[in-house]
């Protein structure tokens, strides 16, 4: 499924099962390039463990450090949120939300130009993601999850949201717009 003019999309992984369990190829550069183009060169893998109710995000890096991500849940379940923060986009400020889990075995590709975050809805979640640029602290920005202009109703997923101090003090959508990303 594609979103935001094919800049964000889901990939259903193929599992090969037998009496021993299963095998899955979680990333194959050749197949990825054939399907989606060869402009993406992932350089780092990240792993995140979160308890129920933890929200991580909405994060992005300013140009030229904007990251493409390929996200998957290895164990548990999350609601993933992606917000279009491209200054000239007709979809600026719009968001999508998707359930990713170890059961549905979907991956989510997110191009640069989008803020990304997720809420853990299972007791815990182990999330793996690839990125195509290294972390750059000076260009790292958080979009405020509770900005009224975003209209994300996160409370319907969990009665207690746990945020880092950094995530509590994110920029408003209007402040992000003024950055002209």
Q: Just list the catalytic residues.
A: 59, 129
Instruction: Identify whether 64 is preceded by a cis peptide bond (ω within 30 of 0).
Output: yes
Q: Contact 72/126 with Cβ under 8 angstroms?
A: no
Burial 56-79 (b: 16+ CB within 10 A, else e): bbbbbbeeebbbbbbbbbeebbbb
- Cα distance between residue 38 and residue 84, in whole Å: 22
Q: Contact 173/84 with Cβ under 8 angstroms?
A: no
> What are the phi and psi torsion angles at 29 (to 5°)?
-55, -45
- Cα distance between residue 119 and residue 161, in whole Å: 8
């Amino acid at each position: 499924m594609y979103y935001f003019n094919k800049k964000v999309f889901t990939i259903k992984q193929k599992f090969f099962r037998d009496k021993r369990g299963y095998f899955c190829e979680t990333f194959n550069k050749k197949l990825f390039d054939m399907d989606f183009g060869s402009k993406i060169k992932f350089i780092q893998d990240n792993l995140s463990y979160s308890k129920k109710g933890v929200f991580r995000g909405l994060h992005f890096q300013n140009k030229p450090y904007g990251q493409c991500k390929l996200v998957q849940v290895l164990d548990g379940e999350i609601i993933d949120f992606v917000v279009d923060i491209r200054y000239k986009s007709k979809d600026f400020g719009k968001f999508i939300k998707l359930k990713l889990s170890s059961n549905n075995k979907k991956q989510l590709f997110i191009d640069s130009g989008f803020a990304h975050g997720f809420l853990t809805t299972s007791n815990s979640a182990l999330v793996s993601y690839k990125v195509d640029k290294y972390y750059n602290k000076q260009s790292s920005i958080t979009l405020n999850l509770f900005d009224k202009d975003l209209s994300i109703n996160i409370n319907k997923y969990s009665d207690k949201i746990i945020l880092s101090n950094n995530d509590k003090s994110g920029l408003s959508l209007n402040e992000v717009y003024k950055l002209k990303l």
